[in-house]
């Protein structure tokens, strides 16, 4: 069964000197998964928690994923492995595939704000 998803990848706690290598490793995996048209290359930003790399799918164009219940955890693990290898150590990879058809879906900005309020 296929599901319409909003995808996001956020990477934190990485070695800044390995930033470009991490970005390249993740981009290669996006190409392999044929998601490079759906998820733009990672960009670096900074917030109160520090630097992070992130990419988000277009909210107006959900990504159709078959067998999402199997694919999401597998892809999450693959991204974590690729990022850790490129970082030459552990980093924190957050990958989400939110159901675009869910009426209770929070957009990325709302989600970040609610996480901050929980702390």
Q: 62 near 6, Cβ under 8 Å?
A: yes
pLDDT digits (tens, 9 = 90+) for 56-110: 999 999 999 999 989 999 999 999 999 999 999 999 999 999 998 876 545 444 4
| CATH number, position 60 | 3.30.70.260
pTM over 0.95: no
Number of domains within the chain: 1
Smallest Cα–Cα separation from 45: which of 56, 61, 29, 30?
56
Q: What is the pLDDT of residue 110?
A: 45
The residue range of the domain holding 75 is 2-118
- Extract the runs of DSSP E, i.e. beta strands, from the chain: 2-12, 43-47, 50-56, 63-66, 92-99
Q: Calculate the average pLDDT of the chain.
A: 89
């Amino acid at each position: 069964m296929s599901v319409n998803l909003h995808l996001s990848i956020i990477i934190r706690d990485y070695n800044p000197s390995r930033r470009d290598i991490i970005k390249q490793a993740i981009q290669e995996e996006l190409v392999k998964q044929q998601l490079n048209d759906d998820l733009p290359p990672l960009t670096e930003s900074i917030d109160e928690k520090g630097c992070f790399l992130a990419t988000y799918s277009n909210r107006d164009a959900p990504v159709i994923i078959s067998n999402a219940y199997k694919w999401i955890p597998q892809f999450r693990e693959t991204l974590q492995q690729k990022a850790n290898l490129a970082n030459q150590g552990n980093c924190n990879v957050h990958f989400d595939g939110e159901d675009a058809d869910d009426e209770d879906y929070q957009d990325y900005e709302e989600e970040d704000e609610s996480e901050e309020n929980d702390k």
